[in-house]
Amino acid sequence: TRIAIFASGSGSNFQAITEACRNGLLEATPALLVCDRPGAYVVERATAADIPYFAFAPKSYQTKEEFEGHILQELARYEVDFIVLAGYMRLIGPTLLNAFKGRIVNIHPSLLPAFPGLDAVGQALEYGVKLTGVTIHFVDEGMDTGPIIAQQAIEICPDDTREMLEKKIHEVEHSFYPQTLQQLFSVKGEAAIR
């Protein structure tokens, strides 16, 4: 499977996924990074790992349709067949959704459907839940709403600071995302053989 990873920020999940590909834990090829913030640290990670990237400024396009059209061209150029969102801070529009039906997944730092959208960790702390977690799901037109693939729970301890909770969540994500993708791709592969 040739994957494109979409990210907007630091890219620690990008790093975990590409490392899992390198060491064989995840049987996939990271063919392309797509980044909507040209200055983001994830671009440096891609450069260091020798992975091609397409970094673009959404503001330099008139519409989402236009920049997603441009993304599609890049995905075709790198023969991408699956999209992995990892901290991509933007809703996917119909242009990409239609072209990659059932082939876009996202990771979200809460037990969906609780705390969708921005700052899920802050929302969970604010609400005072004792249990939060990580959700991996298929992407549809909504905000963190598609069918759930896998979830992992994480306990919030009484004296967890925001930083501590974020660290716990990231640690889980970095092994959980590659593992879940590997399962997904092997099931898809078997289905294709049958």
Whose Cβ is closer to ligand GRF: residue 11's or residue 30's? 11
Strand partners, 151: 135
Measured from the CB atom, the residue of 68 and 173 that comes closer to ligand GRF is 173
Q: Cβ of residue 109: shortest distance to ligand GRF, in angstroms?
A: 4
What is the rounded CA–CA span in Å between residue 185 and residue 178? 10
Out of 1, 13, 18, 180, the only residue in the binding site for ligand GRF (CB under 6 A) is 13
Nearer to ligand GRF, 86 or 105 (CB): 86
CA dihedral (83, 22, 171, 84) in degrees, to 10, reads 0
Query: Where do the H-state alpha helices sit in the chain?
Result: 12-22, 41-49, 64-77, 94-99, 120-127, 162-193
Task: State the catalytic residues.
Answer: 108
Q: Which residues neighbour 32 within 8 Å (Cβ) at sequence distance 6 or greater?
A: 4, 5, 51, 52, 53, 54, 74, 75, 78, 80
Beta bridge partners of 62: none
Site for ligand GRF (CB under 6 A): how many residues?
14
Check residue 7 for interaction with ligand GRF (CB under 6 A). yes
Residue 87 lies near ligand GRF (rule: CB under 6 A): yes
52 belongs to the binding site for ligand GRF (CB under 6 A): no
Write out the two tokens for 57.
């400024």
- The answer to whether 89 is a known ligand-binding residue is yes
Q: What residues line the site for ligand GRF (CB under 6 A)? A: 7, 9-14, 86-87, 107-109, 169, 173
Task: Specify binding-site residues for (6R)-10-formyltetrahydrofolate.
Answer: 64, 89-92, 106
